[in-house]
């Protein structure tokens, strides 16, 4: 997907993916990951998500990646952070204040060296933002950033893609397994039909829209099949 697509989305305020409250799956399932307080948590394609604030309030240090400079500026502005430090790291601008760091740039170009050690991750808006042609590259790259034993809370959508196109895209359970199984142990945690709370999706003719939570546990090496 062309980066201009997302820049235009933010400039036109077409950001329906931004939620005004932390995600219920985060509140219900994050404790099951057993990530120690003080851990650094990676949030890919983070936007200005309030989920990052939820994590920070519980003692985590949050490091995000985000393409849109507008999203990054709005996040720190809305959190009333006037102490943001900005530094150049290769093709990235790192914005840092308090418990938050956000790398502004292409998440698929982020490497472990500038990112630094992370102990957990939270993906609510990254995988589902990508068309099928980009997902395998994204999943393999994501695996290079996560150390053995780390755990990720992944949230995906499932709906009839022939009725409505993404983003957010539908990513079926078989595809989640295929994308991650070589490097992670994949466990489905919960699925909820949210069509009644999603009028824009319902208006397209969909009769079901599932959000699905997964736990991904990073293996010490590629998993043999």
The share of the chain scoring above pLDDT 70, in percent, equals: 89
The pLDDT value recorded for residue 60 is 98
3-state class (DSSP) for residue 146: coil
Q: What is the pLDDT of residues 175-186, one digit of tens each?
A: 999 999 999 999
Where do we find the tokens 């099951």? 32
pLDDT greater than 70 at residue 4: no
CATH superfamily to which 3-13+20-218 belongs? Vaccinia Virus protein VP39 (3.40.50.150)
Q: What is the Cα–Cα distance from 22 to 3, expressed in whole angstroms? A: 26
Among 128, 114, 25, smallest CA distance to 63 is for: 114
3-state class (DSSP) for residue 108: helix
Cβ–Cβ contacts within 10 Å for residue 182, how many?
A: 15
Q: What is the pLDDT of residues 74-111, one digit of tens each?
A: 999 999 999 999 999 989 999 999 999 999 999 999 99
Across 85-109, b (16+ Cβ under 10 Å) vs e yields eeeeeeebebbbbebbbbbbbebee
Cβ–Cβ contacts within 10 Å for residue 195, how many?
A: 14
pTM: 0.93
Among 53, 13, 59, smallest CA distance to 36 is for: 59
Q: What is the pLDDT of residues 151-171, one digit of tens each?
A: 999 999 999 999 999 899 999
């Amino acid at each position: 997907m062309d980066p201009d697509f997302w820049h235009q989305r933010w400039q036109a305020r077409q950001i329906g993916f931004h939620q005004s409250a932390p995600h219920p799956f985060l509140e219900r399932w994050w404790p099951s990951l057993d990530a120690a307080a003080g851990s650094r948590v990676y949030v890919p394609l983070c936007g200005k998500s309030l989920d990052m604030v939820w994590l920070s309030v519980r003692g985590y240090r949050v490091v995000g990646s985000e393409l849109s400079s507008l999203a990054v500026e709005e996040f720190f502005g809305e959190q009333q952070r006037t102490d943001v430090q900005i530094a150049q790291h290769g093709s990235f601008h790192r914005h840092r204040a308090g418990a938050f760091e956000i790398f502004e740039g292409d998440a698929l170009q982020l490497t472990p060296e500038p990112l630094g050690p992370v102990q957990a991750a939270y993906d609510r808006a990254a995988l589902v933002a990508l068309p099928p042609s980009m997902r395998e590259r994204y999943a393999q790259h994501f695996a290079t950033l996560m150390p053995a034993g780390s755990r990720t809370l992944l949230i995906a959508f499932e709906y009839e893609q022939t009725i409505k196109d993404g983003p957010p895209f539908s990513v079926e359970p078989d595809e989640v397994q295929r994308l991650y199984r070589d490097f992670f142990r994949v466990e489905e945690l919960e699925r909820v039909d949210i069509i009644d709370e999603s009028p824009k999706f319902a208006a397209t003719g969909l009769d079901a829209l599932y959000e699905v939570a997964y736990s991904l546990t990073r293996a010490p090496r590629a998993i043999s099949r």
